[in-house]
Chain A
Amino acid sequence: MQVKPGRTGLNTMHAVIACFHCDLPVPAAGAHRARVLGAEREFCCAGCEAVARTIAGAGFERYYETRTAPAERPAETTKSCSIEGNEAALILEHVRCAACLWLIEQVLRRHPGVAHASVNYATQRAQVSWDVQNTSLAAIVESIRAVGYDACPYDPRTQDELERRDRRTALWRLFVAGFGAMQVMMYAFPAYVDDVGPEAAQVMRWASLLITLPVLVFSCAPFFSGALHELRQRRIGLDTPIALGLGFGFAASAWATVAGSGEVYFDSISMLAFLLLGARYLEAAARRRAARALDPLLRFTSEKQIAEGHTIAVAPGERIPADGVVLEGASSADESLLTGESRPVPKRAGDELVGGAVNLEQPLVMRVTRAGADTRAAAIARLAERGAASKPRLVETAERVARHLTWVIVLTAALAGLYFSNPWIAVAVLVVACPCALALAAPIVLTRASGTLLARGVLLTRARALEALDRVTDVVLDKTGTLTTGRISVAKVVPLGTLDKPACLDLARSLEASSRHPVARAFTGAVTVDIESPRNFPGQGIEGRVQGRRVRIGTADFCSELCGLPQPALHDARVFLADEAGWLAAFELADSLRPTAHGFVAGLEAKVHLASGDRPEVVAALARELGIASWEGAMSPEDKYRYIERLQREGRVVAMVGDGLNDAPVLARADVSFAMGSGADAAQLKADVVLMSDSLEGIPQTLHLARRAMRLVRQNIAWAIVYNAIALPLAAVGWIGPWEAALAMGASSLTVLLNALRPLGPEPGWKASTSSFPSRSPSYS
């Protein structure tokens, strides 16, 4: 149908010339022409010509060489779009293949004033940010239209509508194929078991033909259009062998029916169609389910009316629309959308609120500090989208092998068919081979893995990291703070003078009451002693007067200055109390362990190291308490870097856990890096995995899930290799007939997909935030 570029000219003998851009017939040859790819091309209309000139003029002719489908005819009208701010997610329309997305990305990046542009293949969305002074969104959208596509700002409703249409069509195709297959099987059955006579058999054949026709034309349309795209791109993909097999099989069976002699395989064709469509339906459902973890985040960021500085009220049960601070009210919030932790977090005046959390109990008044694309939820969504773009090397290899395999299949089919001069052998070869086990199943596992992790508050910023996560043998914690709560408490009071322990503590509490130093938080409680004129000596301590005498609390030097006595030999004490007469007490402080720390160290399927910059005594105590064998204290970042290097030289695969901000080089050195990212700067974190809930549980969960996911990927690849290695030669020598081939291939696709859909880990309980019911409803887990 398409007239090849280069042969299209005014003197052509072809009756109809196809437009070089959109492939529609050209009504008047010579009316619209432009020079593209070194030759004069014909276009159907001024629109296509303008688009082609823009593409060629901007130096993007490569698009015409790599595209796999003709473009959509450009629309005459311009839709208006309005969006404020300088960042937007755009839904791209009329996108047919990867070359289209490449072209759009190039156009966006060269557009003056565009600061950043990235196009996501999986979601078919573009993320653009621009300089408000130099350009506008309207101009950016116009530049996308200029090359023949359309874009509109991401709107969840549009997306929903598109999705619903796709889902309905897919289900309808599946039903037609399934029902058709059942019915055709009924007509085929008598011929298999009994000789019903030539006339009755002929009636059955015609009935089968009649019912297989809609199965082939309607249900199998995606395979044929896919094969057509592949043909235009001059490559062979997954759809080509299937389309050839189905097409040949049907044509030969139909011919046999019309001629009244020969074999018919209508039952095999419709059954194959049903099994394949079933596999693809499951695949699409899994993809949607995985995307659902990300969707609330994206959806939420499209809230536009709220801007920074606004004061808004949030009713109970409502989603908090932006990041902010509580001004009035006391309530609790469910932050599970961001952290995966469904336990309510208490919120009172002055506390920070994250957009996307649900206010649970009482109305709150909040001041917005960040709205729209600046919110933490939006940053997480962007990171997650970026994460989905990378693939583990194993999966990339599998996809490359699948591409080669399809060539082998088609060539084998042609040769075997010719050698035995039996078209049914060619059909069997085309049908029996199952490259989809290589190319379809692995991406689903990956999408599901990142979706599942996100639902638990673990953000995978590079899907490629799954491979390293799977092999992790050692986990290095870079500070004691990851194992402790960060809340300091008094572990021991050593009285040194006349006062007893409670009296010393009372005095210390009263002195520290005026301080904001982190250590002061260890001495919280009621003020029982009157302190006159307390004074703060930064970095040293506090001095005050109690009943006329001076009292100091603080470092040993600071106190010894007051009492004039040498400091007592107490190594573990960090805070001292003294008056003019002498020492009163020494305090040992402790950072309390996280309740999960013991379980974390014991339960991790990897060796735990503690490489901390803290004082060696502190690190030693912690390591002893938790049973960590390898630890080192007082380490500089360079020491940590070398520590990891040394482990790697010993052949260990190292996962590093850090805060993701100050230790970027150390994290980068590790095979895979975790960041405890409870802070608001998720976007700046340079780690493969971000633990959004700031709890340790994420690490074993991630390791476990990565292992399981990679195991599923490897199982599928192994299955694909074994299956194809056995089935292909058998079909090529004619031992597998078309109906056996259809059954084997359909069952193989379905097996691989169902395997890819196996649970990746314990399912999280039925959470209030994902349901449409208020969280007070009982839980169903």
Chain B
Amino acid sequence: MESLYLLVPLSVALVFVIGWVFWRALHGGQFDDLERPAHDILADDDRPKSGTDHVSR
């Protein structure tokens, strides 16, 4: 039972740490566009495209 006195405060601290991590991700722009990245996988450009606008990666 005594472990509660350590584990509960620890979990509270962990909540704030995870909150901070999410804040970093959010303000790094990770959640700005939740739709386009899903389409990116379909539009994967593995066919050589005609035209000069293609930049090789």
Which residues from chain A sit less than 8 Å from chain B, CB to CB? 164, 167-168, 171-172, 175-176, 179-180, 183, 186-187, 197, 200, 203-204, 207, 210-211, 214, 317, 766, 771-773, 777, 780
Contacts and interface: CB of A to CB of B under 8 A. Distances in A.
Interface in B1-47: 1, 4-5, 8-9, 11-12, 15, 18-19, 22-23, 26-27, 31-32, 36, 39, 42-43
Contacts of B19: 175-176, 179, 214
B26 A780 contact: no
B23 A172 contact: yes
A211 B31 contact: no
Nearest to A316: B51
Given A175-B26, A176-B19, A210 B5 contact: no
A175 B23 CA distance: 9
B32 A164 contact: yes
A210 B13 CA distance: 10
B12 A171 contact: no
Contacts of B43: 771, 773, 777
Contacts of A210: 12
Given A210-B12, A773-B43, A203 B23 contact: no
A120 B29 CA distance: 30
A772 B26 contact: no
Contacts of A183: 11-12, 15
Contact of A200 (B4, B31, B32, B42): B4
A772 B5 contact: no
B32 A167 contact: yes
Contacts of B11: 183, 186, 207
Interface residues of B, number: 21
A771 B5 CA distance: 54
B26 A204 contact: no
Nearest to B32: A164
Nearest to A772: B36
Contacts of B23: 172
- Pick the 3 closest A-B CB pairs, nearest first: A207-B8, A203-B8, A183-B15
Nearest to B22: A175
A179 B18 contact: yes
> Which of A172, A180, A187 gathers the greatest number of chain B CB atoms within 10 Å?
A172
Given A197-B1, A200-B4, A772-B36, A168 B26 contact: yes
Contact of B15 (A211, A317, A771, A777): A211
Nearest to A214: B19
Nearest to B5: A203
Contacts of B1: 197, 200
Contacts of B53: 317
B34 to A, nearest CB: 9
Contacts of A180: 15
Given A214-B19, A317-B53, 6 more contacts: A175-B19, A179-B22, A180-B15, A203-B4, A207-B12, A780-B39
Interface of B: 1, 4-5, 8-9, 11-12, 15, 18-19, 22-23, 26-27, 31-32, 36, 39, 42-43, 53
Contacts of B18: 179
A765 B20 CA distance: 39
A168 B5 contact: no
B31 A207 contact: no
Name the residue among B1, B15, B43 with the largest chain A CB count within 10 angstroms. B15
A221 to B, nearest CB: 16
A179 B11 CA distance: 12
Contacts of A777: 43
Contacts of A167: 32
Contacts of B22: 172, 175, 179
A168 B31 contact: yes
| Residue of B4, B18, B32 with most chain A CB atoms under a 10 A cut-off | B4
Contacts of B32: 164, 167-168
A323 to B, nearest CB: 26
Contacts of A203: 4-5, 8
19 contacts: A167-B32, A172-B23, A172-B26, A175-B19, A175-B26, A179-B15, A179-B19, A180-B15, A183-B15, A186-B11, A200-B4, A203-B8, A207-B8, A207-B11, A211-B12, A211-B15, A317-B53, A772-B36, A773-B43
Nearest to B9: A207
Contacts of B9: 207
A199 to B, nearest CB: 8
Contacts of B27: 168
B10 to A, nearest CB: 10
Contact of A780 (B5, B12, B15, B42): B42
B14 to A, nearest CB: 9
Contacts of A214: 19
Nearest to A176: B19
A214 B12 CA distance: 12
A579 B29 CA distance: 81
A203 B5 CA distance: 7
A188 to B, nearest CB: 12
Nearest to B25: A175
Contacts of B5: 203
B8 A204 contact: yes
A780 B26 CA distance: 29
A281 to B, nearest CB: 11
B26 A771 contact: no
Nearest to B15: A183
A709 to B, nearest CB: 23
Contacts of B31: 168, 171
A653 B9 CA distance: 67
Given A168-B31, A172-B26, A187 B8 contact: yes
A172 B18 CA distance: 12
B33 to A, nearest CB: 10
A771 B33 CA distance: 13
Nearest to A766: B39
A169 to B, nearest CB: 9
Nearest to B36: A772
A766 B43 CA distance: 12
A317 B51 CA distance: 11
A467 B9 CA distance: 57
Contacts of A175: 19, 22, 26
Nearest to A771: B39
Nearest to B4: A200
A200 B42 CA distance: 53
A771 B40 CA distance: 11
B17 to A, nearest CB: 11
A772 B35 CA distance: 12
A780 B1 CA distance: 58
A136 B29 CA distance: 39
Contacts of A317: 53
